[in-house]
A and B are shown apart, each in its own frame.
Chain A
């Protein structure tokens, strides 16, 4: 009986008292927003970087390569701090936007590489065959290269998304009350952090699982094999 009492008390203190559950939900919302917006920005910028690598212009190719090497090698937390304390120090921009920019910039460097290697995995013979059948360059890209590249990229991209969800947990450093920060605050207040940390882990697992399910849904019935 004693054990259950302790658990109940702990749950009450950490989740119910002072509307903690609402606080947790708002943290979750922040985490999800940063993840989705960062992913979107990263994908758009990543696609652009990837496109630049196929450009005729040496300069564009060079810029893209250099960007990827530098940003991919910079710890996301340092990038975040650089933006928050230096670049946007004087602006009144909400910290959440700065986080989105940071994750967009960082994500782009990974996503560009994912896209490039997926495009390169597509059998050039099939593209040639499509051209021989009368497809234009773009038609062959759209009908053959793209769908196959997406299949190749899917598992790696999924991995990147799950990584991103977890990395957003560092935004507390720039005053954002994301899920991790919220949990930290509640734990500090109740001085009984085990329960709430456990709940936090469960929520992150749930997010990762949700991402997995979404990717699963978009999967074709038939996998591309070579």
Chain B
């Protein structure tokens, strides 16, 4: 039904889309997610020809709308579009909004158009608002009217550009219910949305747009539960990151710890996890400074804390360029070795204690040391 090949689009020197490929089958419901500014809206506008594509082709059935010879106005009739801010005609009543295009563009008789409009108004449960004006309606009602207006042209494809982003949750619910219904009726639909749960539930496929193209696509299960590429993972888990660099033996532990706490509080991380994260970092840094670097050597330790706002998981990554040592080996293989080791000196004893603490509070530790770069990953 829709086939996009190597589509590109720029505004002046700003490249917005590049090498976009996609195929959408008849009756399929595709959701597009992605960070704002990724080009999702522009992609939709290219699909119905409101933005001209610079390169590549878009086939709607068999017509290439990027070809200048194609009569775009005619093909556009097959597509309905619904916008974030409704865009109802503010000088016309609800019924006039709905019948304007059928009467003026499709040349259907007024009576017939009103008949169809009445039915549509009933399906969106707004028949009693027939003679109201857009500014007398709530946001949710306006969006439902906008959907009815698009449907009145009897499109085969419906395009939605963030239909609920301007609505509060209750009103979003009304609108999503209407869209869900359309999916059941078998419309081919492309929905740009920020409502992840809705996308998960309604779509047959999900496109994640990033870096000017469709970065990853797949079934909702693939994209939401098992994304493969790093930007998708970060987007789906709503990753938040904290960075800190240690470059001296006498680094300011208190400063680091208070900045970490600020970060954690900002994202509502629970108190116990904040303490664990802080503790694990402190102990690990102390261990690395004592064992992996000479007192004369300048240490270079990078600390990254990633917090997934969706799954609430915290992952600490510590990278350093000192001696390759993995203290967690001993701990995991011989948990009570600390007692049998009698002749180690005092610092080692407390450091081993620290390592032991880390392994107790974390839910997974991994270590890799290659080419002088050592990497710890600790899950809390």
Contacts and interface: CB of A to CB of B under 8 A. Distances in A.
B101 A125 contact: no
Given A125-B83, A222-B133, A225-B135, A133 B90 contact: no
B178 to A, nearest CB: 17
B91 A139 contact: no
A90 interface: no
B257 interface: no
B90 A134 contact: no
A128 interface: yes
Given A126-B87, A128-B50, A128-B87, A143 B104 contact: yes
A134 B88 contact: no
Given A130-B101, A131-B50, A135-B101, A125 B90 contact: no
Given A130-B101, A132-B48, A224 B149 contact: no
Given A143-B100, A222-B133, A225-B135, A133 B87 contact: no
Interface centre among A123, A129, A151, A224 (most CB of B within 10 A): A129
Contact of B90 (A130, A131, A135, A224): A224
A134 B87 contact: no
Contacts of B81: 129, 132
B365 interface: no
B48 A130 contact: no
A16 B289 CA distance: 113
Contacts of B76: 131-132, 134
Interface string A14-37: 000000000000000000000000
Nearest to B133: A222
B50 to A, nearest CB: 6
Contact of A123 (B73, B80, B90, B153): B90
A144 interface: yes
Contacts of B79: 132
B89 interface: yes
A129 B105 contact: no
Interface string A210-226: 00000000001010111
Given A128-B87, A224-B91, A225-B135, A133 B50 contact: no
Nearest to B48: A132
Interface centre among B48, B83, B93 (most CB of A within 10 A): B83
B108 to A, nearest CB: 12
B87 A129 contact: yes
Given A125-B87, A126-B89, A220-B91, A134 B133 contact: no
Given A135-B105, A139-B104, A143-B100, A130 B135 contact: no
Report the interface size class on chain B.
20 to 34
Interface centre among B79, B87, B88, B91 (most CB of A within 10 A): B91
Contacts of B88: 126, 129
Contact of A147 (B48, B73, B91): B91
A226 B76 CA distance: 27
Contacts of B153: 133-134
Nearest to A132: B81
Interface in B60-112: 73, 76-77, 79-81, 83, 85, 87-91, 93, 100-101, 104-106
Interface centre among B88, B104, B106 (most CB of A within 10 A): B104
A126 B146 CA distance: 11
Nearest to A129: B87
A225 B90 CA distance: 7
Given A143-B104, A147-B91, A133 B150 contact: yes
Contacts of A125: 83, 85, 87
A162 B87 CA distance: 35
A148 interface: yes
A172 B88 CA distance: 51
A226 B89 CA distance: 10
A175 interface: no
Contacts of A139: 104-105
Interface centre among B90, B101, B146, B150 (most CB of A within 10 A): B90
A55 interface: no
B89 A130 contact: yes
Interface of A: 123, 125-126, 128-136, 139, 143-144, 147-148, 151, 220, 222, 224-226
27 contacts: A125-B83, A125-B85, A125-B87, A126-B89, A126-B90, A128-B87, A129-B81, A129-B89, A129-B146, A132-B48, A132-B50, A132-B81, A132-B150, A133-B150, A134-B101, A134-B105, A134-B106, A135-B104, A139-B105, A144-B91, A148-B91, A151-B91, A222-B91, A224-B91, A225-B90, A225-B135, A226-B135
Given A136-B73, A225-B135, 20 more contacts: A126-B88, A126-B90, A129-B81, A130-B101, A131-B50, A131-B76, A132-B76, A132-B80, A132-B81, A134-B73, A134-B101, A134-B105, A135-B101, A135-B104, A143-B100, A144-B91, A147-B91, A148-B91, A222-B133, A226-B135
